[in-house]
């Protein structure tokens, strides 16, 4: 009888240990999967911003052909592009401050593009140029993609943040060093998208 009781206790301990291990393993792996999802979405955000930056040299070259004496505006766009492409963040080290710095550099580029569009208004021949019209369509599409990818990033970050903050998962998140991810936040004036009207 005593031997039978010992076996029951051992089986219960092993079963509880196995269930605890399975829960910890499953929760940890879910946190890793959600982290990877946020990191992948951040890469998608950077990708669309890079696409916009890649369009700018062709845009500047096209405008320069019609408005070469607008040197200051063209240099402003080139400098803003350089700053925006030099501001990168490692997906594994996202912080609110780093995202704000990234966004500030990208907003500087958006502002420079807006100034360029004011210049373009003075050149009807440029506005009718086929190459320019194609660049306009690509840039407008890219601005829409930026909005979509930022939204998807925030959704992935929210899903991850919610998962690691729920009890009792939050204890494991703290134990394994899973930190909340920051969001893209609107800055003042962000409710109006950059004007890309050629």
Tens digits of per-residue pLDDT, 131-161? 888 888 888 899 899 999 999 999 999 999 9
Tens digits of per-residue pLDDT, 28-85? 999 999 999 999 999 999 999 999 999 889 888 888 887 777 778 888 888 999 988 8
CATH number at residue 140: 1.20.1440.20
Whether residue 189 is contained in a domain is answered as no
Q: Show the domain range for 28.
A: 2-176
User: What confidence category does residue 191 fall into, taking pLDDT thresholds of 50, 70 and 90?
Assistant: very low
170 CA to centre of own chain? 25
Give the count of domains, the chain. 1
User: Is the separation of the CB atoms in 75 and 116 below 8 Å?
Assistant: no
C-alpha dist (Å) from residue 55 to 38, 67, 97, 103, 135: 26, 18, 27, 19, 7
pLDDT at position 1, please? Answer: 66
- pTM for the complete prediction? 0.80
Q: Above 60 in pLDDT, residue 188?
A: no
pLDDT at position 59, please? Answer: 86
Helices (H), 121-168: 124-128, 130-165
Whether residue 185 is contained in a domain is answered as no
Q: Count the neighbouring beta carbons within 10 Å of the beta carbon of residue 96.
A: 13
Gap between the Cα atoms of 190 and 187, Å rounded: 5
Tens digits of per-residue pLDDT, 81-139? 998 888 888 888 888 888 888 998 999 898 888 888 888 888 888 877 888 888 888 88
Give the torsion through C-alpha atoms of 78, 81, 87, 92, to 10 deg: -150
């Amino acid at each position: 009888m005593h031997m039978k009781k010992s076996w029951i206790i051992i089986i219960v301990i092993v079963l509880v240990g196995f269930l605890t291990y399975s829960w910890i393993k499953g929760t940890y792996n879910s946190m890793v999967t959600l982290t990877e999802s946020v990191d992948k979405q951040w890469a998608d955000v950077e990708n669309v911003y890079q696409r916009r930056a890649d369009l700018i040299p062709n845009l500047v070259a096209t405008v320069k052909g019609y408005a070469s004496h607008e040197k200051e505006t063209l240099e402003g766009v080139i400098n803003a592009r350089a700053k925006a492409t030099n501001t990168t963040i490692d997906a594994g080290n996202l912080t609110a401050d780093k995202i704000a710095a990234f966004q500030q550099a990208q907003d500087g580029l958006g502002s420079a593009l807006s100034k360029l569009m004011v210049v373009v208004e003075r050149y009807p021949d440029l506005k009718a140029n086929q190459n320019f019209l194609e660049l306009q369509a690509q840039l407008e599409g890219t601005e829409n993609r930026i909005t979509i990818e930022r939204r998807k990033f925030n959704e992935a970050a929210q899903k991850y943040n919610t998962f690691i903050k729920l009890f009792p998962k939050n204890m494991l998140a703290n134990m394994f060093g899973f930190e909340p991810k920051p969001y893209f936040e609107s800055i003042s004036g962000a409710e109006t998208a950059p004007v890309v009207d050629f």
